[in-house]
Amino acid sequence: MSSGTAKTTMRSAAWRISLWATLAFACGTMVVFVFLHRFVSQDIQRRSDAWLSGEVEVLGDVAERTPKNALYGRVVGEVAELASREVPNRLRSEPGQNDSVFFLQTAADGSLALWVGDGNGAAYLDAIRHSAPVANSPADLRVRAIAIPFRIASASVGDGSRIYLGLSERDELRLLRNLRFRFILLWAAIVVFGAALVFYTTRRMLGHVRGITEAASRIGESDLSSRVPTSRRNDEIAQLASTLNTMLDRIENSVYQLHTITDSLAHDLRSPLTAVRAKLEMALTGGPKADEAESLVTAIEELDRVTDFLNKSLDVAEAKADALRLHRVAIDLDQLLRAMVDLYEPSMSERGLRIQLRSANRVEIWADPGLLHRMIANLFDNELKHLPPSSTIAIALRAEHGTAMLLLEDDGPGFAPEIAAHIFERRVKGPKSNGHGLGLAFVEAVVRAHGGSIEAANRLEGGARLLLALPLFAGPRDEPSTSMALAAHSRPSADALVSASQP
C-alpha cells in the first residue's frame, strides 16, 4: 500500500469510526477489569485473613495450654509447622526465598521467645516492633530485606507473651500477576480483532454509500436513465439508495415532460414555418418584381430569425432546467477559437474592431460540438453587436488545474449597471440592445450544462469581462454518441478547414 492509499484510508470515515469504537471498547473493558481485579484481590485477602485469624487462635490456645518446659518450643513449633501446610493456594518456595509462613512468639518483655521459619527471626521481630500496635485483626507487615510483605495476625497468651502468625502475600501477588498478564494478552487480542472487525464492516457499509455517491454523480452528469445500486437488505443504506432512485424517477419524469413539451412546441411551430418558408422561396424563384422580391427576402430573413429565436429559447429553457441533451466529444478549444476568430475577424475589422487571441496549446474539453459552436458564436455576435468602433477584444485561453479558462475582455462601454447583476437571465438586455436578450443566457446555460461556470463583470479600466471555466477532457468516457459525432465532424471540408487554418 502506498503512502497515498494509507493517507486516504486515514482520512476515511471508516477509519475514524473504527478508531473511536476501538478506543471506547478498550477503555470500557479496562475499567471492568480494574473492578474485577480489585474484587478478586480483596476476596483473596479476606480468605487469608480468615485463615490467619483461625490459625492464630488455635495456636494461642495451644501455646496457653502447653506447659512451659523444654518441650514447649517443639510442640508449638510443630503445630505452627502443621498449620503452615494448610495455607490456601500455597506454592512451593523457591530456593533463596523466605518461606511463605512464619510463627513468632514474644515473651512478656518483648524479646523473641519462639521462632518457627527461615533464619533467626530477628528481622521479623524488629519489623513487628516498629509496626503500629497490632490489633486483633490481621494487618500488613513489611520486613526489611524481604520484598514481599506479610500479612500477620496476633493473639496474646495468658502469661503476657504474644504470638504472631505471618503469611507471605507472595502467592496472592503471584496469582494476581498471572491474572493481569493473561487479561492483558486477551484484552490486546480482542481489541485488535474488534478494531479490525469494526473497520472492515464500516468500510464495507460506507463502500456502499460511496458506490451510491459515485453512481449518483455519474447520473447527474451524463444520463438520467441509470439508477444507483440497491442491495437486498432493507437497512438505512438500502433505504438511501431507494430514496435516491425514487427521486431520480421523478426528475427523469419531469425532464421527460419538459422534453415532450419543447419537442412538440418545436414541431408544431416548425412545420408551419417550413410551409411558409417554402411558399416564400417559391414566390422568390418565380421571378417577382424588384419591390416584391425585397419584401420576400426580408420575410425569409425574419422567418429564419424566428426559427433561431425558437431554437435558442427552447435550449435556454431546457438548460435552465438542467435538461439539455448533450452529445459530447473531445473538442480542442484552441483550434475552435482560432476557426471562430478566422470566421469573425473580417466582420470585426469591417466594424473597426480588433480581436486578439492568446492561446498556446491544445486545450481539450468534453463537450457537445453543436452547442459549443453556437455558444462561442453567441459570445462573438454579442461583442460584434454591442461594441463601438475601434474597440479591442482580447481573448485568452489557458488550461489550469483541470479547467479550461476562457477569458474575454473588451474595452467597450461594459455592461449597463442596471443589468449587470442579472446578465445571464433570459430577456435581460442592455437599454440600447435590439437583440432578444437570450445570447448570454444561452451562453451561461451551455457552460452550466457542461459542468462549468461563468462570471461577468465590468473591468475597472472600463469594458466588459467574461470568464468561462470548463472542465478539461479527462480521457474517453463510455457514451454511445461519441463515435458518431466524431464521424460527423470529420467531413472532408472540416479537414480542409484544419489544413487551411494551419498552413
Partner 1 sequence: MQYHQPMRLLLVEDEIEIQGFLKRSLTEAGYQVDVAGDAKAGQRLATENQHDIFIIDLGLPDEDGITLILRLRQLGVDAPVLILSARRAVDDRVRGLEQGGDDYLTKPFAMAELLARLRNLLRRKASAPAEATRLRVLDLELDLLRREASRSGETLTLTPQEFVLLEYLCRNAGRVVTRSMILDQVWGMRIQPDTNVVDVHIYRLRGKVDAEGRRPLIRTLRGVGYVLRDR
Name the site residues for partner 1 (rule: CB under 8 A). 259, 262-263, 266-267, 270-271, 273-282, 284, 293-294, 296-301, 303-305, 307-308, 311, 314, 325, 327, 339-340, 342-344, 346-347, 350, 370, 373-374, 377, 380-381, 384-385, 435, 480-481, 483-485, 487-489, 491, 493-494, 496-497, 499-501, 503
Q: Please state, in angstroms and rounded to a whole number, the distance separating the CA atoms of residues 408 and 444.
A: 14
Question: Min. distance of Cβ 264 from partner 1 in angstroms?
Answer: 9
d(CA 498, CA 503): 9
Q: Closest approach of Cβ 289 to partner 1, in Å?
A: 14
Answer yes or no: are the C-beta atoms of 191 and 129 closer than 8 Å.
no
Residues 127, 166: contact at Cβ < 8 Å?
Answer: no
Residue 153 to residue 128: CA distance in whole angstroms: 11
| Closest distance of CB 441 from partner 1, Å | 14
Pick between residue 180 and residue 305 the one whose CB is nearest to partner 1: 305
Residues 6+ apart with CB under 8 A from 479: 222, 327, 328
Distance (Å, whole) CA 376 – CA 482: 21
The long-range contacts involving 39-48, CB below 8 angstroms and separated by at least 24 positions, are 40/176, 40/179, 41/172, 41/176, 44/89, 44/172, 44/175, 44/176, 45/151, 45/172, 47/88, 48/87, 48/88, 48/138, 48/151, 48/167, 48/172
Q: Which is nearer to partner 1, 222 or 403 (CB)?
A: 222
Nearer to partner 1, 368 or 411 (CB): 368
Helix (H, G, I), strand (E, B) or coil at 365: strand
Q: How far is the CB of 380 from partner 1 (least distance, A)?
A: 8
Rounded to whole angstroms, how far apart are CA atoms 298 and 63? 140
Compare residues 402 and 503 and give the one whose CB is closer to partner 1.
503
Min. distance of Cβ 377 from partner 1 in angstroms? 4
C-beta closer to partner 1: residue 269 or 420: 269
The smaller minimum CB distance to partner 1, of residues 184 and 500, is found at 500
> What residues form DSSP beta bridges with 155?
163
**Which CB sits closer to partner 1, 281 or 418?**
281
For partner 1, the closer of residues 134 and 251 by Cβ is: 251
Q: How far is the CB of 22 from partner 1 (least distance, A)?
A: 52
CB of 207 or CB of 476, closer to partner 1: 476
C-alpha cell at 322: 438542467
Q: Give the nearer residue to partner 1 in terms of CB position, either 176 or 497.
A: 497
Give residue for cell 441533451: 325
What are the DSSP E strand ranges found in 291-417?
A: 329-332, 354-359, 364-367, 392-400, 403-410
Q: Which of residues 186 and 494 has its CB atom nearest to partner 1 in the complex?
A: 494
Minimum distance, C-beta of residue 476 to partner 1, in the bound complex (Å): 17
Q: What is the spatial distance between Cα 289 and Cα 98, in angstroms, rounded to a whole number?
A: 137
3-state SS track over 248-290: HHHHHHHHHHHHHHHHHHHHHHHHHHHHHHHHHHHHHHCCCCH
Distance of CA 37 to the CA centre of its chain: 41
Rounded to the nearest whole angstrom, what is the least distance from the CB of residue 21 to partner 1 in the complex? 50
Q: Confirm if 336 and 376 have CB atoms less than 8 A apart.
A: yes
The SS3 call for residue 212 is helix
- 3-state SS class at 374: helix
Residue 387 CB, nearest approach to partner 1 (Å): 12
Alpha carbons 344 and 185: distance in angstroms, whole number: 80
Residues 6+ apart with CB under 8 A from 354: 348, 390, 391, 392, 393
Minimum gap (Å) between residue 375 Cβ and partner 1: 9
Smallest distance from partner 1 to CB 253, Å: 18
